[in-house]
A and B are shown apart, each in its own frame.
Chain A
């Protein structure tokens, strides 16, 4: 994966496959130079006895083939950037993946186009509530796809104009929040 936003798109697919009706993506830059990414869903969760296997690239819940690379790639990406990954899951309740990156590590991938990831997710699954929370220091930005839905009334969320608006709205706020915090974003 070229950047973090592509990992996000990929990892959230797991939540959607687990029939989540709500997915929260949180991006947080703290003062200690750490970028924390949390993906939390209310999907069907992962059985205890397979939870430790899901970071293994040769484990997958699919039966079409023997590999599953989404989580292993994300894990490798944060571990080579001075971070780590934790996965918490409870059967029937949901799953939480926390990945950290050292912001100044030379191997940290750039954040990428978060707006396009969010708009893509909304377009693919307008029936799932997608929340994006960005925190930098004291400041916080929250995007919620269902809030947009309420504003729209009977106009569908996957209307092209709406999707474009979501992408631009999210990116403007990512730039505002992370400008000067992540070195690839000038703000």
Chain B
């Protein structure tokens, strides 16, 4: 059974890491979390981003949410804003796609073009 006391250990561990990396100037992930996004499965997508980043010990990427991105039929959607401010809009996401995006785009800096809105719309 989990207890609040466990937070003490998490705190100690996290404090060591905070001192190591103070920069928060990494990429930003913005997940669409309006009714349309949630109904289409945005919550597991957001969770997948978080778990994948945690697994890889990446803590300078901020995961946030936004409302409806305006193309409800392509939800779940997420936008990745890289360090140069360039935006990539990924559509029809699943946890599997998120894992690939984290590995290829966030870690290796190579966007997964086939999952982006431009590519998707030109094929469908």
Task: List A residues at the B interface (Cβ < 8 Å).
Answer: 1-2, 6, 9-10, 13, 17, 64-65, 68-70, 73, 113, 116-117, 119-120, 123-124, 147-148, 151-155, 159-165, 168-169, 172
Q: Bound complex: CA of A25 vs CA of B44, how far in Å?
A: 21
- Min CB gap A122→B, angstroms: 11
Interface size class of B (residues with CB under 8 A): 20 to 34
A151 to B4, Cβ gap below 8 A?
yes
B2 to A120, Cβ gap below 8 A?
no
A161 to B14, Cβ gap below 8 A?
yes
A10 to B35, Cβ gap below 8 A?
yes
B54 to A1, Cβ gap below 8 A?
no
Q: Bound complex: CA of A64 vs CA of B47, how far in Å?
A: 27
Q: Bound complex: CA of A13 vs CA of B68, how far in Å?
A: 11
Also in contact, A13 and B33, with CB within 8 A (given A116-B43, A154-B15, A160-B54): yes
- Min CB gap B39→A, angstroms: 6
Q: Mark B55-74, 1 if CB is under 8 A from A, else 0.
A: 00001000111011010000
B4 to A148, Cβ gap below 8 A?
yes
A155 to B34, Cβ gap below 8 A?
no
Identify B11's interface contact among A70, A113, A123, A152, CB under 8 A. A152
Also in contact, A152 and B34, with CB within 8 A (given A117-B43, A120-B47): no
Q: Which 9 A-B pairs have the closest CB atoms?
A: A160-B54, A151-B7, A155-B14, A169-B2, A124-B65, A70-B35, A69-B35, A161-B10, A10-B38
B59 to A160, Cβ gap below 8 A?
yes
A-B contact count (CB 8 A): 91
Nearest B-chain residue to A167, judged by Cβ: B47
A151 contacts which chain B residues (CB < 8 A)? 4, 7-8, 11
Q: Is B18 an interface residue (CB 8 A)?
A: yes
A165 to B6, Cβ gap below 8 A?
yes
B106 contacts which chain A residues (CB < 8 A)? none
Also in contact, A155 and B33, with CB within 8 A (given A6-B39, A9-B38): no
- Min CB gap B99→A, angstroms: 15
A120 to B46, Cβ gap below 8 A?
yes
Identify A147's interface contact among B4, B44, B46, CB under 8 A. B4
A155 to B18, Cβ gap below 8 A?
yes
Also in contact, A161 and B50, with CB within 8 A (given A13-B34, A123-B63, A155-B18): no
A155 to B70, Cβ gap below 8 A?
no
B70 to A64, Cβ gap below 8 A?
yes
- Min CB gap B109→A, angstroms: 21
Q: Is B20 an interface residue (CB 8 A)?
A: no
